[in-house]
Amino acid sequence: MSANPVTSIQTFMSTGLPLFADLPYKVQAMTPDVVRFGRKEMDLALHEMPGLAALREQFAVEQPLKGARIMGSLHMTIQTAVLIETLVELGAEVRWVSCNIFSTQDHAAAAVAAGPQGSADDAQGVAVYAWKGETLEEYWWCTVQALEWPGAGGPNLILDDGGDATLLVHLGYEHELAGTLPELDKAGSVEERVIFQVLHDVREARGGDYWTKMIKNIRGVSEETTTGVHRLYQRAEDGTLQFPAINVNDSVTKSKFDNVYGCRHSLVDAIMRATDVLISGKRALVCGYGDVGKGSVQSLRGQFAKVAVTEVDPICALQACMHGLDVTTTEDALADTDIFVTATGNKDIITAQHMVRMKHNAIVCNIGHFDNEIDMAGLEAMRERGEVEKIEIKPQVHEWKFKNTTHGPNGGGHSILILAEGRLVNLGCATGHPSLVMSASFTNQTLAQMELHKNAESYGKTVSVLPKHLDERVALLHLDKFGVKLTQLSEEQAAYIGVQVQGPYKPEGYRY
């Protein structure tokens, strides 16, 4: 991986690394071939990311992010690499961690660490801590490295995806404020146990005001996705949010492009790369019919699968009906469904007991945000009891063979295939959304970071959405790529519908 860490008596859990390692970066491989591959893919991606290219051209001289110290926690892909270097070109200092243990594209991480003017032997780029296949302990170690800003007391802005960085600094601050530490044996999950251990080790290494000093310097966060936004609104409502937040997820040019059109492209890409099964004619169940569910249904229907959905929301269920879909329950679909896709952003959607009843070789995957839509902990408990066997087919593709069921081959135990260990399948088993889709999302992120850097104190400790004129601007930056010619309103037409000639063209509450 990277250079050797500083010597330390104590290492963090199973990582073999001190919690504060003082490494300039840590990636899977830093070789000339890997760096060259990443840089070439970044060059190709930039051509497909006109929003970011336009911001680079417009603001290269102005440097609107000069003085910004941005800690990013977002999938370390080629597209993210273009975002990172856009932030740098606009003046920011950046440190980065992937927000998912399986989503990193290692050549992207290496290329960003090397930098556009550097090389494998002379890294001059961004401090990146990410590699595909991290353990949970390594993931949270990486998060600490990206938050630790040498000589500066931490970041002054966070760019988050799922809210992990925001969670860690808030949790650390709250325990310091109360003079407490979380009880390790009261952790609700394996991952929470790791987070609690981080707080214990930070307290031991840096004393009782590390997070308090850090959080006072953080002026704001821009959040990428549904789960992280939900966490932010909860904190805003209960009065515990410590800095302003911009909800990037609910910008139309993010939610529709990323959640609908991105999933439409990347779901079947992941399933086919992972399994090579024919999707046409198979029965598929998509759990959840929000934006991600809608994109997932379109993806599967594009391969002529027979698709049904589950829903708790009557409006989304009615939409599904209008789109010609069956709306059913997971329990009723278990016996004859070939492909299960969770897309809810909730927990315990497919349980271990559901999987016991699935048909032989059913494929199970998640494209919602978190790792607990599919009950992997329940399966692991069954494995410890000897009731199921986990067999790796290839990285991020596992057969789980049940020993006590009778609806498998010849009346024996059945198997199911679980992709990406229940985490995001499009990033674990494929390369995520295509560059043009991510250009819309990341143009929003860049604008949000610029807004926070300029005006954070005017927001208060609230969660805000970028104004509609910026949403329209993001769309406008991408239209030339499709050869679009927009119709222009006359003054009379604009007045008739109550808008300005140059927009915004829809009221804030308009549903696209």
Give the active site residue among 142, 263, 316, 365.
Answer: 263
The verdict on whether 347 is a catalytic residue reads no
Tokens linked to 129: 């801590």
User: Tens digits of per-residue pLDDT, 209-255?
Assistant: 999 999 999 999 999 998 899 999 999 999 999 999 999 999 999 99
**Count of all residues that appear for the chain in the document:** 512
Give the active site residue among 41, 85, 224, 375.
Answer: 224
Please give the DSSP secondary-structure letter assigned to residue 458. Answer: G
d(C-alpha 79, C-alpha 431), whole Å: 10
Q: Are strands 127-129 and 283-287 parallel, antiparallel or unpaired?
A: unpaired
Tokens linked to 195: 């987070």
pLDDT at residue number 152? 73
What are the angstrom distances between the C-alpha of 11 and each of 131, 139, 347, 391? 19, 14, 32, 31
The verdict on whether 445 is a catalytic residue reads yes
Give the active site residue among 98, 197, 319, 372.
Answer: 98
User: Tens digits of per-residue pLDDT, 155-186?
Assistant: 999 999 999 999 999 999 999 999 999 999 99
Asked if pLDDT for residue 420 goes beyond 50, the answer is yes
d(C-alpha 442, C-alpha 157), whole Å: 16
Share of the chain above pLDDT 70, in %: 98
The verdict on whether 372 is a catalytic residue reads no
Please give the average per-residue pLDDT across 308-320, as a whole number: 98
The verdict on whether 441 is a catalytic residue reads yes
User: Which residues 6+ apart lie within 8 Å of 415 measured at CB?
Assistant: 360, 361, 399, 400, 401, 402, 408
pLDDT at residue number 205? 95
Tokens linked to 360: 């032989």
User: Tens digits of per-residue pLDDT, 205-222?
Assistant: 999 999 999 999 999 999
Longest dimension (CA), the chain: 75
Helix-, strand-, coil-residue percentages of the chain, each rounded to 5: 45, 15, 40
Give the active site residue among 85, 160, 161, 223.
Answer: 161
What are the angstrom distances between the C-alpha of 427 and each of 47, 183, 390? 21, 33, 21
The verdict on whether 360 is a catalytic residue reads no
Give the active site residue among 79, 366, 445, 449.
Answer: 445
User: Tens digits of per-residue pLDDT, 10-66?
Assistant: 899 999 999 999 999 999 999 999 999 999 999 999 999 999 999 999 999 999 999
Please give the average per-residue pLDDT across 197-209, as a whole number: 97
504 upstream amide cis, omega within 30 of 0: yes
Structural contact between residues 281 and 305, judged by C-beta atoms closer than 8 angstroms = yes
Structural contact between residues 438 and 232, judged by C-beta atoms closer than 8 angstroms = no
pLDDT at residue number 326? 98
Give the active site residue among 145, 259, 266, 372.
Answer: 259
The verdict on whether 365 is a catalytic residue reads no
Give the active site residue among 148, 176, 258, 471.
Answer: 258
The verdict on whether 98 is a catalytic residue reads yes
Structural contact between residues 70 and 91, judged by C-beta atoms closer than 8 angstroms = no
The verdict on whether 175 is a catalytic residue reads no
User: Which residues 6+ apart lie within 8 Å of 413 measured at CB?
Assistant: 401, 402, 403, 404, 405, 406
pLDDT at residue number 356? 98
| Residue 403 three-state SS | coil
Structural contact between residues 299 and 282, judged by C-beta atoms closer than 8 angstroms = no
The verdict on whether 433 is a catalytic residue reads yes
Give the active site residue among 441, 444, 451, 478.
Answer: 441
Asked if pLDDT for residue 511 goes beyond 90, the answer is no
User: Tens digits of per-residue pLDDT, 256-281?
Assistant: 999 999 999 999 999 999 999 999 99
Give the active site residue among 107, 132, 254, 282.
Answer: 254
64 upstream amide cis, omega within 30 of 0: no
The verdict on whether 435 is a catalytic residue reads no
Give the active site residue among 282, 398, 433, 478.
Answer: 433
d(C-alpha 438, C-alpha 295), whole Å: 15
The verdict on whether 258 is a catalytic residue reads yes
pLDDT at residue number 3? 45
pLDDT at residue number 146? 98
Please give the average per-residue pLDDT across 302-320, as a whole number: 98
pLDDT at residue number 5? 41
Give me the DSSP letters along 349-373: SB-HHHHHHSPTTEEEEE-SSSS-S
Give the active site residue among 28, 103, 105, 415.
Answer: 103
